[in-house]
């Protein structure tokens, strides 16, 4: 009987240990799955886009991914982007306020993740600049070069190729292949 | 080419060299097979790695943005290649995203780093990273079957059989050629021995002819010596300078004739091998007149009937002399009671198997020969003469000489009427006489 009790307690202890390990590996605090996926997408998206060389001040300038309205996504991205490089550049995750059109100009990627009174101004302010705008339909924004589209519990990528061309951004054909076309 | 033949000939004449060559051929082909196997394995490794890289390159966006459907399509495309028995895509966290397995084997649970192509358990596996502009997106794992041992061997069977047969053929050729070479060597030795025996026979034939001559020559010499001796006696007594001078001249002539006779005998007895040279037979016969006359006794006349401008022939002149002498001696012996010998020589256009030749006939009106004797007349050691007079080698020498000169000797005879011995000697085409 005693031996029996001991064998029953073993899986329980194992589960606790595994949970502890999982918690320790989790970046930052326990952000939502949705935020983690979107942060990862933002990082990965940057590798499927080519910016004109002129947008970087020098060879060591980081690739700036700016996030508006989603501090949770920013937190995850910051953790994810640590020690990562895209095309030889480090990644800088920058959280900028809603009304900072000037700051938006200096970003290579701009994620407008949540509806706010001035979100359209951000897109307009960067019009014709090589800024990869990313909007999120679930967050109430749209019209970016890239759009996150939630469907059936999955987050898909929408691409507006005309908008990308207007902003002198080169999208990888592999990305275009799996993306849904958006825009006019 | 000659060098090749020489080397090839030596190689094939030596049994061991041929065997060594065959072994070399086998070893070389084994080495080549091993080499080709190795490079084929390398090729296979590279192919599988390239396939994995193609998959990694194409699947990157689908993997990055969780497009399961696209990932599956890329895997399905790879699946068309039967040799690739398993392929899997792993995310950046190392977890399996999608895969297929056709060989019933298992897949690595997680792949977090690239793995060089490696062979284990008859399978070839490789893991390559999925990267986009240096950003790690995950890994791709590909496993392929290695061609089975039997399938590989069957590729070499046909060529292997050919090579083994070729090696066997070389060994066999070497063995037979070695045997043939040994037989050839024996044959050559035999021929040399026979040639030696023939030379000895020729010499003895010559000596016989000389023996026949000796009787007449000794008589002649005696005459010359007594002429010389009486000449000396007369010279001692003579006082008239005119008469002395005459005697001197006479004696000189006697000595010259003696010297000439000796010279002819020496030339006759000399041991020389057959030495064909372009010869004018008419001139030769005319020069022999003295010698021939001396071998006859009184009561036998010797006539010459030589066509002027006889064609040149390529013969051994001294053997020709011996042959004519043998014929004359033979005719003489057939005419105990005297008679006539005629030596005729004429051009015979197309007279010898359709070829130009000269015909030398020695005719006598002696006792002739019976058909039985005629049949065996050219056989060595066949004689009708009593013991001590003939060796039976005379006419066989005539026959041998004619054969050696690419000509022929024939004899025709009517008992009680006479015998004609004819020599055909082919015309020498390229002689400038």
| Contact call for residues B90 and B110 (beta carbons, < 8 A) | yes
Across-strand partners of A170? A50
Whether the model clears a pTM of 0.90, i.e. scores above it, the answer is no
CA distance B132 to chain A (A): 6
Question: In whole angstroms, what is the distance from residue B97 CA to residue B106 CA?
Answer: 15
Tell me: the pLDDT tens digits for B346-392? 999 988 888 899 999 999 998 888 888 887 777 766 677 665 555 56
DSSP state of B285: H
Chain B interface, best mutation among A48, A148, A154, by max B CB count within 10 A? A48
Tell me: the pLDDT tens digits for B188-243? 999 999 988 888 887 777 777 777 667 667 777 888 888 888 888 888 888 889 98
H runs (alpha helix) in B334-393: 371-376
Question: In whole angstroms, what is the distance from residue A171 CA to residue A49 CA?
Answer: 5
Contact flag B135-A84 (C-beta cutoff 8 Å): yes
Contact flag A47-B134 (C-beta cutoff 8 Å): yes
Which residue, B259, B218, B231, B285, is CA-closest to B425?
A: B285
B246 vs B211, more confident: B246
DSSP state of A1: -
| Contact call for residues A141 and A163 (beta carbons, < 8 A) | no
pLDDT for the residue A119? 86
pLDDT for the residue B142? 94
**Chain A partners of B132 at a C-beta cutoff of 8 Å?**
44, 47-48, 86, 172, 174
Contact flag A47-B64 (C-beta cutoff 8 Å): yes
pLDDT for the residue A28? 43
Average pLDDT, rounded, for chain B: 85
Which residue of chain A is at minimal alpha-carbon distance from B67? A178
Pairing label, strands B300-306, A49-50: unpaired
pLDDT for the residue B373? 82
Identify the weakest region by mean pLDDT among A151-165, B390-404, B411-425: B390-404
Which residue of chain B is at minimal alpha-carbon distance from A44? B64
A32 vs B432, more confident: A32
> How confident is residue A92, by pLDDT bands cut at 50, 70 and 90?
very high
For residue B367, which phi and psi values (nearest 5 degrees)? -80, -15
ipTM reported for the complex, 2 dp: 0.79
Question: In whole angstroms, what is the distance from residue B188 CA to residue A6 CA?
Answer: 105
| Average pLDDT of the residues in B68-95 | 91
Task: Count the alpha carbons within 13 Å of B360 in the hemisphere toward its beta carbon.
Answer: 28
pLDDT for the residue A116? 83
| Contact call for residues A162 and A133 (beta carbons, < 8 A) | no
Token couple for B98:
């999608």
Contact flag A178-B70 (C-beta cutoff 8 Å): yes
Among the partner residues B65, B70, B134, nearest to A44 by beta-carbon distance: B65
> Residue B309 class from Cβ within 10 Å (0-12 exposed, 13-18 middle, 19+ buried)?
exposed
Question: In whole angstroms, what is the distance from residue B343 CA to residue B357 CA?
Answer: 17
Between chain A and chain B, the number of residue pairs with CB atoms below 8 A apart is: 54
Q: CB neighbours of A69 closer than 8 A, spacing ≥ 6?
A: A98, A112, A113, A114, A116, A119, A139
> How confident is residue A8, by pLDDT bands cut at 50, 70 and 90?
very low
């Amino acid at each position: 009987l005693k031996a029996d009790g001991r064998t029953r307690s073993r899986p329980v202890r194992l589960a606790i240990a595994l949970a502890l390990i999982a918690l320790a590996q989790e970046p930052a605090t326990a952000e939502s799955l949705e935020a983690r996926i979107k942060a990862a997408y933002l990082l990965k998206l940057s590798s499927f886009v080519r910016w004109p060389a002129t947008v970087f001040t020098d060879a060591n300038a980081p690739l700036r991914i700016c996030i508006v309205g989603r501090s949770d996504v920013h937190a995850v991205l910051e953790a994810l982007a640590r020690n990562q490089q895209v095309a030889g550049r480090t990644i800088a995750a920058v959280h900028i306020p809603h009304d900072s059109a000037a700051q938006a100009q200096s970003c290579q990627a701009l994620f407008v993740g949540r509806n706010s009174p001035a979100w359209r101004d951000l897109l307009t302010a960067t019009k014709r600049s090589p800024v990869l705008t990313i909007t999120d339909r679930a967050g109430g924004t749209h019209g970016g070069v890239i759009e996150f589209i939630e469907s059936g519990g999955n987050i898909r990528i929408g691409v507006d190729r005309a908008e990308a061309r207007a902003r002198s951004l080169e999208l990888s054909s592999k990305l275009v292949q799996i993306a849904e076309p958006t825009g006019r | 080419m000659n060098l090749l033949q020489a080397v090839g000939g030596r190689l094939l004449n030596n049994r061991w060299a041929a065997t060594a060559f065959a072994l070399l051929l086998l070893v070389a082909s084994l080495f080549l097979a091993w080499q080709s196997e190795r490079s084929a394995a390398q090729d296979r490794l590279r192919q599988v790695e390239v396939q994995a890289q193609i998959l990694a390159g194409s699947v990157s966006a689908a993997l990055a943005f969780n497009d399961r459907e696209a990932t599956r399509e890329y895997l399905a495309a790879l699946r068309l290649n039967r040799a690739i028995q398993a392929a899997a895509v792993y995310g950046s966290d190392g977890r399996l995203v999608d895969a297929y397995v056709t060989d019933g084997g298992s897949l690595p649970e997680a792949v977090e780093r690239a793995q060089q192509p490696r062979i284990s358990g008859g399978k070839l596996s490789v893991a390559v990273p999925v990267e986009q502009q240096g950003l790690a997106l995950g890994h791709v794992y590909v496993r392929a079957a290695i061609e089975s041992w039997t399938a590989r061997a069957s590729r070499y069977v046909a060529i292997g059989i050919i090579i083994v047969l070729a090696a066997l053929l070389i060994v066999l050729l070497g063995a037979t050629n070695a045997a043939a070479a040994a037989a050839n060597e024996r044959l050559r030795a035999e021929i040399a021995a026979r040639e030696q025996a023939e030379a000895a026979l020729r010499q003895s034939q010559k000596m016989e002819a000389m023996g026949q001559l000796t009787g007449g020559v000794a008589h002649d010499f005696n005459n010359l010596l007594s002429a010389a001796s009486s000449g000396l006696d007369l010279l001692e007594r003579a006082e008239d300078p005119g008469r002395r001078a005459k005697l001197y001249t006479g004696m000189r002539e006697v000595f010259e004739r003696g010297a000439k006779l000796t010279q002819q005998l020496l030339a006759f007895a000399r041991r020389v091998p057959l030495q064909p040279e372009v010869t004018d037979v008419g001139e030769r016969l005319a020069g022999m007149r003295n010698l021939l006359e001396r071998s006859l006794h009184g009561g036998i006349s010797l006539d010459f009937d030589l066509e002027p401008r006889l064609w040149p022939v390529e013969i051994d002149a001294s053997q020709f002399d011996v042959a004519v002498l043998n014929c004359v001696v033979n005719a003489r012996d057939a005419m105990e009671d005297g008679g006539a010998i005629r030596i005729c020589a004429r051009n015979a256009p197309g007279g010898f198997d359709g070829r130009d030749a000269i015909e030398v006939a020695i005719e006598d009106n002696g006792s002739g020969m019976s058909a039985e004797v005629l049949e065996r007349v050219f056989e060595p050691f066949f004689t009708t003469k009593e013991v001590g007079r003939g060796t039976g080698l005379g006419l066989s020498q005539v026959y041998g000489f004619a054969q050696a000169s690419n000509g022929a000797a024939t004899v025709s005879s009517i008992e009680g009427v006479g015998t004609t011995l004819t020599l055909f000697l082919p015309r020498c085409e390229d002689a400038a006489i």
